[in-house]
A and B are shown apart, each in its own frame.
Chain A
Amino acid sequence: MSNKSEVQNVIFQALTALNQERDADEQIEIGPDTALFGPDAVLNSLELVSVMVDIETTAADEFGQSVSLTDDEAMGRDPVPFVSVSALTEYILELLSK
């Protein structure tokens, strides 16, 4: 089973890739508390989608298991699981443990 730091690293990789698309003065501070969605989010819609696609792709490669972040299960959560890095980490760990 994957551990928390491995999952968090996948998310950090996706955010690091996004930072490479951003200007030097608009870099996202990457950490467990980084807000990905909602009023405090540091991402716009296009960036959020890009990050989620990268996470789903990398997670499948790293963990050998597909992870869907916007399926019915995710849709049923309140708040959604990708509200922050820490919440998303916990959700992915939950999916990988099944």
Chain B
Amino acid sequence: MSGITLVGDFVTLRPLTVGDAQLTHAWRQGERATNLNAGAHSVEQQAHWIAARPASEYNFIIELSDGRPVGMVSLSDIDTTHRHAEPGRFLIGDEAAVRGVPAAVEAMKLIYELAFGELELHRVHGTVASDNALMIKWQKFMGMTEEGRLRNHYFINGKFQDAVLFGMLAGEYWAKALPKMTFFIEAAKKGR
């Protein structure tokens, strides 16, 4: 797993380590994770999963500027031939800690900067379970385009759900998503 750290104004993305297994496992058991794919069933399984992440993936813990870990996010399935990747595993685990802080916005901005800036990718993509209304609105608002659906692709919360496919091209990121994200971060800086 790649070991870089990405630093923003409000959050830092530092590499996920096996030592984060207990914390991230607890987050995955929380209410907000119910719309995600089932994760590890125990801390030990979570530790094994973290240890097994390939060097080609970027897996991060989202930390506030005071060092408090509040969530996780990743960039995986990086294909340098076709120049695309999948941002995902995005979860804010400590809801109370991020109220009033643009943690989610800046975490995604840092991931996109990595994808479209440093790695010079052309496209990012991902899927969201169709019942995850907040995340679907979020992805569209932040510049993703709904590109299709995989019907009944997930079995989450006791029922089948569609996987909503999202994608964003580099040009769309620079023209639309980045200004919108910058807007939120600059606005929050004014209110500090």
Q: Which residue numbers of A lie inside 8 Å of B, CB to CB?
A: 21, 23, 35, 37-47, 49-50, 52-54, 70, 74-75, 78-80, 83
Contacts and interface: CB of A to CB of B under 8 A. Distances in A.
B98 A44 contact: yes
B184 A45 contact: yes
Interface stretch (B13-21, B45-53, B119-127, B133-141): B133-141
B138 A44 contact: no
Interface of B: 31, 92, 95, 98-105, 133-135, 137-138, 140-142, 180, 183-184, 186-188, 190-192
Contacts of B135: 46
Closest 3 CB pairs of A and B: A38-B191, A41-B100, A45-B104
Contact of B92 (A42, A44, A53, A79): A44
Given A39-B191, A50-B138, A45 B183 contact: no
Contact of A38 (B100, B133, B142): B100
B99 to A, nearest CB: 5
B184 A53 contact: no
A46 B31 contact: no
A46 B140 CA distance: 12
Contacts of A40: 100
B103 A50 contact: no
A21 B133 contact: yes
A23 B99 CA distance: 16
A49 B31 contact: no
B99 A44 contact: yes
Nearest to A41: B100
Contact of B134 (A23, A50, A52): A50
A97 B99 CA distance: 32
